[in-house]
Structure 1
């Protein structure tokens, strides 16, 4: 087996400047599939038109957080951004989350009315300074219908005809199901832009893999195109799962001193049970 520094993994072997398939969201590796381009367009549209609410949904690992991070880079300095990654709790707790997100100091013993009043005063102050507020909530599927309705109420705070707060909610498919409930029809009516990120097709997986290999300094040939159908089958086209199995396959190819990942390399990863992605457990693609 080749010897290498622990932080290098297989990079020197393949000529990479960095690992191409890490599991952490990285806007530098963002691949503009048709769906990702449309999702980002809807995010931009929501921002440009100052839509009260923008909703983006998709499966776990579909690339929603990476899109969010990329969007944050494009927002101008005129916006105050509040980011909540995993809000939970009731109405009063939600207001505390929002105040924290915008770095507003408050007394934790305040009543709901006092918290609401403090947030409203802050929103009016931001507006008076010619700025706007954008509240981004990631993992929105963890909200309750009651807190979703409370968020809608926050978008009712306005000055003349101007919205003081824009909401961007990003979550898993169950969030889309939640907001379609009859009790949340007023919330749904305030959604000005939305998109659902679906899984990638086999062709898109091939383009995605080649893209990430290239960004990392590779040629794109480090994973044989013949291995792509199997990669797509066992990952269902979910980007994070594609990253997971490709990373493991590159480790296997490096360990065997192979110049590229082949279909057999991927099968070896599956046979050894080191890939724990959800789709691999539903079928055995090596049989």
Structure 2
């Protein structure tokens, strides 16, 4: 855990100390300095926070316990998967949860949004044709539930598989082959188990 705090201090431009209490002071002093002296509000993004131990979540509350009512010298973004919501609802994390001003949970794409999303990603890559059949898009949605990261991975694998077969259109069979390659299991199947 100490490496986490040392990394945070380093990201704020500090040479990390070796004890947690000293690192906390460094981080707080750095944030205060940026805010008060340089008029910079640091934005601290902690990605994949769902993987963090509850102790880290508890420490975050202590670490970023500035005079919340009178000033807000930083922005803290906790990003991760839906498990965050469950973890933050635990009583042990109530003090941190109460300090979160904005909570946003990204939902997957809706079925009617998937085609436009896939087409926009293909256009960014330089392809201006619709190469996914309607049944392929239905299969992609059924497998991924519209979660953008899973959609991206599955579509990329579909393209690789289709290229290997010199196939111009991607149909549902191509999607299921890509699914097997990625070992993604349908969200519906996961819920049944």
Contact 1:155–1:164 (8 Å) recurs in 2:
no
Unpaired segments ≥5 residues, structure 1: 1-88
Counting helix residues as a fraction of each chain, which structure ranks higher?
A: 2
Distance in 2, Cα, partners of 1:202 & 1:234: 12
Q: Is the 8 A contact 1:155 1:163 kept in 2?
A: no
- 2:5, 2:24 within 8 Å by CA — same for their partners in 1? yes
User: How far apart in 1 are the matches of 2:166 and 2:113?
Assistant: 28
Query: What is the match of residue 190 of structure 1?
Result: 99
CA contact (8 A) 1:136 1:169 kept: yes
Q: Unaligned 5+ residue runs, structure 2?
A: none
Partner of 1:97: 7
Q: Which has the higher strand share?
A: 1
Instruction: Name 1:215's counterpart in structure 2.
Output: 124
- Structure 2 vs 1, CA of residues 252 and 115 (structure 1 numbering), >3 Å: closer, same or farther? closer
Q: Does 1:205 align with 2:114?
A: yes
Q: What TM-score do the two structures reach when normalised by structure 2?
A: 0.82
Q: Which residue of 2 aligns with 1:274?
A: 181
Gap change, CA 1:279 and 1:157, over 3 Å in 2: same
Any conservation in 2 of the 1:154–1:165 contact (CA below 8 Å)? no
2:174 counterpart of 1:260: no
* Mapped contact 2:109–2:148 kept (Cα < 8 A): yes
Asked if structure 2 preserves the Cα contact closer than 8 Å seen for 1:211 and 1:220, the reply is no
Q: Scaled by the length of structure 1, what TM-score is found? A: 0.58
Distance of 2:157 and 2:92 partners within structure 1: 45
More contact order relative to length (CA 8 Å, sep ≥ 6): 1
Cα RMSD of the aligned pairs, angstroms, is 2.7
